[in-house]
Amino acid sequence: PAKYRPSSAFNSQHWTTNSGAPVYNNNNSLTVGVGGPILLEDYQLTEKLANFDRERIPERVVHARGAAAKGFFEVTHDVSHLTCADFLRAPGVQTPLIARFSTVIHERGSPETLRDPRGFAIKFYTREGNFDMVGNNIPVFFIRDGMVFPDMVHSLKPNPKSHIQEGWRIADFFSHHPEAMHMFTFLMDDWGVPKDYRHMEGFGVHTFVLINAAGKETLVKFHWKPTCGVEFLLEEEAVQVGGNNHSHATQDLYDSIASGEYPEWRLFIQTMDPQRADDYAFDPMDVTKTWPEDIFPLQPVGRMVLNRNPDNFFNENEQVAFCPALVVPGIGYSDDKMLQTRIFSYQDTQRHRLGGNYLMLPVNAPKCSHHNNHHDGFMNFMSRTEEVNYFPSRFDAARHAAPYPIVSRQLSGRRERAVIPKENNFQQPGERFRSFDAARQERFINRILDNVLLHPRTTKEIRRIWLGMLSQCDKSLGQRLAAKLQAASAL
């Protein structure tokens, strides 16, 4: 690699301090005599240490462990009848993007072979601002109300006393949340440990709204399918792969891009007429549900190709800030309560994690021209020379953007804290369990036992509640689980 980057400001041929003063000796501190003590006036030393001392920023509260890659999205099928999004305007249109894949629960340096959902986040740098699709590799989520999220994450994270992830805490928490059974039929299935980041699907998970130029709204779900196929690691494989290399998925992504074998995913959508949202056995705003593909077929939209590795891990992995609130004209939020909560949570955590001006960081800044009067603040490095920083003004030529259609559904209702009427917690997980072949069903049952129910601190009461929930998903699942619990004298 080139030693100097003449294009950057960081281009001196000799060492300097941060303020540019030449450093003639970068090895020895300034001492009284050869042996010391060190003089407090050794500014070179204190500056170097102070920078080092501050190298780490807070890791993400979830999804701390991840790998990013850059590339492009290309529209392959016309969807302009569904959305006026500029980046989806016609087949052939390409948009640069950055993607980040992640595990969820454990720390920034944790193994990438753990049983965990995988994050699947993409930032499209469109001509109308950044569109972030911040999804997972599992099409549903554990819970349906964001109020529950912090408690849920606490139960999955390590015990605050031992700092060890413990199954009894997971069993306990989710015994109160039957809506999570569907997600467990993914997490405790082979699906729960993807082979690496390339061989996994991605999902927008929430229901979003597409809006076309005439203002017509369509409910939509997003699906990404890898062209290299979907593959998983069984327990023994995961132990071996992770034991050899705790960064195997990051390495696989990096190496495949470096060798020119560019990972590619196809984007599909499922669409639903909002007028018909009440017609089904499930609530389409309920994030614990999938939309059956026989009723809502997958429709192709485009493809994502990742063909560039990050130039710098910190700048493009640690500083990248994805946020489901970042949508563009032609795409809107639905009433999904989880999505609505996320609209607040991501920007809030990123102001804490990266600072108030985090959207100025090169990886987060829009690539299109932009203009507003948001002003100053810590670490503001935007160079601005204008004298008018208020609106409206006869001296500032910038005007409102041309109007575009927004989600305009009519709302009415009482203020209340409530559970949705159509919970339907057990039908879809039951169907999913029955779709597994016998060996896969057996692996699923054993994982529920090993990871959650047979922990010595999981009580019999909690086991019976889980048994009740899983029996409602599928009777034979319940019977087989009960037999194994009895055999282990655990009921």
| Catalytic center residues | 63, 136
Strand, helix or coil for residue 22:
strand
Q: Does 338 bind ligand HEM (CB under 6 A)?
A: yes
Segment 266 to 325, residues that bind ligand HEM, using CB under 6 A: 321-322
Strand, helix or coil for residue 276:
helix
Shorter beta-carbon distance to ligand HEM: residue 191 or 322: 322
How many angstroms separate the CA atoms of 287 and 143, rounded? Answer: 7
Q: Does 455 bind ligand HEM (CB under 6 A)?
A: no
Shorter beta-carbon distance to ligand HEM: residue 94 or 349: 349
Q: Tell me, residue by residue from 201 to 240, as one string, x for binding to ligand HEM by CB under 6 A and - for no binding.
A: ----x-----------------------------------
Q: In the complex, what is the shortest distance from the CB of residue 191 to ligand HEM, in angstroms, rounded to a whole number?
A: 15
Query: What are the φ/ψ torsions at residue 226 (nearest 5 degrees)?
Result: -75, 140
Strand, helix or coil for residue 442:
helix
Neighbours of 23 (CB within 10 A): 13
User: Can you tell me which residue has the tokens 């939020």?
Assistant: 333
Q: Does 63 bind ligand HEM (CB under 6 A)?
A: yes
Shorter beta-carbon distance to ligand HEM: residue 363 or 448: 363
Q: In the complex, what is the shortest distance from the CB of residue 379 to ligand HEM, in angstroms, rounded to a whole number?
A: 17
453: DSSP letter: I
How many angstroms separate the CA atoms of 89 and 81, rounded? Answer: 9
CA distances to 112, 187, 199, 306 from 251, in Å: 10, 23, 14, 14
Shorter beta-carbon distance to ligand HEM: residue 282 or 436: 282
**Strand duo 331-333 + 299-308: pairing:** unpaired
Interface pick for ligand HEM out of 341, 347, 424, 427 (rule CB under 6 A):
341
Which stretch, 26-34, 58-66, 85-93, 413-421, contacts ligand HEM (CB under 6 A)?
Answer: 58-66
Shorter beta-carbon distance to ligand HEM: residue 106 or 342: 342
Interface pick for ligand HEM out of 127, 246, 266, 353 (rule CB under 6 A):
353
Q: In the complex, what is the shortest distance from the CB of residue 316 to ligand HEM, in angstroms, rounded to a whole number?
A: 11
Cβ 341 vs Cβ 333: under 8 Å: no
Which residue from 183, 176, 139, 141 is spatially nearest to 155, judged by alpha carbons?
A: 176
Q: Tell me, residue by residue from 90 to 129, as one string, x for binding to ligand HEM by CB under 6 A and - for no binding.
A: ----------x-x----------------x-x--------
Shorter beta-carbon distance to ligand HEM: residue 134 or 211: 134
| DSSP codes of every residue in 38-107 | BPTT-HHHHHHHHHHHT---PPPSS--SEEEEEEEEEE-S--TTT---GGGSSTT-EEEEEEEEEESSS-
Q: Does 453 bind ligand HEM (CB under 6 A)?
A: no
How many angstroms separate the CA atoms of 129 and 367, rounded? Answer: 7
Strand, helix or coil for residue 368:
coil
Which stretch, 134-142, 161-169, 224-232, 428-436, contacts ligand HEM (CB under 6 A)?
Answer: 134-142
- Per DSSP (E only), the strands in 227-353 are 264-272, 299-308, 331-333
How many angstroms separate the CA atoms of 31 and 40, rounded? Answer: 9
Q: Could you tell me the two tokens for 151?
A: 């408690």
Q: What is the CA radius of gyration of the chain?
A: 26
Q: Does 350 bind ligand HEM (CB under 6 A)?
A: yes
Residue 4 known to bind ligand: no
Q: In the complex, what is the shortest distance from the CB of residue 224 to ligand HEM, in angstroms, rounded to a whole number?
A: 12
Interface pick for ligand HEM out of 149, 232, 262, 333 (rule CB under 6 A):
149
Which stretch, 187-195, 340-348, 377-385, 452-460, contacts ligand HEM (CB under 6 A)?
Answer: 340-348
Which stretch, 132-140, 181-189, 365-373, 408-416, contacts ligand HEM (CB under 6 A)?
Answer: 132-140
**Strand duo 94-103 + 129-136: pairing:** unpaired
Q: Does 333 bind ligand HEM (CB under 6 A)?
A: no
Which stretch, 339-347, 426-434, 437-445, 481-489, contacts ligand HEM (CB under 6 A)?
Answer: 339-347
287: Cβ–Cβ under 8 A, 6 or more apart, which residues? 140, 141, 144, 205, 206, 207, 336, 338, 339
Residue nearest to ligand HEM (CB): 119
Let me know the angle formed at the C-alpha of 132 by 286 and 338, rounded to the nearest 5 degrees: 25
Helix axes 167-174, 149-156, angle to 10 degrees: 150
Shorter beta-carbon distance to ligand HEM: residue 183 or 477: 183
Q: In the complex, what is the shortest distance from the CB of residue 62 to ligand HEM, in angstroms, rounded to a whole number?
A: 5
Count, residues near ligand HEM per rule CB under 6 A: 26
Residue type, 273: D
Cβ 181 vs Cβ 188: under 8 Å: no
Q: Does 61 bind ligand HEM (CB under 6 A)?
A: yes
Interface pick for ligand HEM out of 87, 124, 125, 141 (rule CB under 6 A):
141
Q: Does 349 bind ligand HEM (CB under 6 A)?
A: yes
Question: Residues annotated in the binding site, as ranges?
Answer: 346
Question: Residues annotated in the binding site for heme, as ranges?
Answer: 346
Interface residue list for ligand HEM (CB under 6 A)? 60-63, 66, 100, 102, 119, 121, 134-136, 141, 146, 149, 205, 321-322, 338, 341-342, 345-346, 349-350, 353
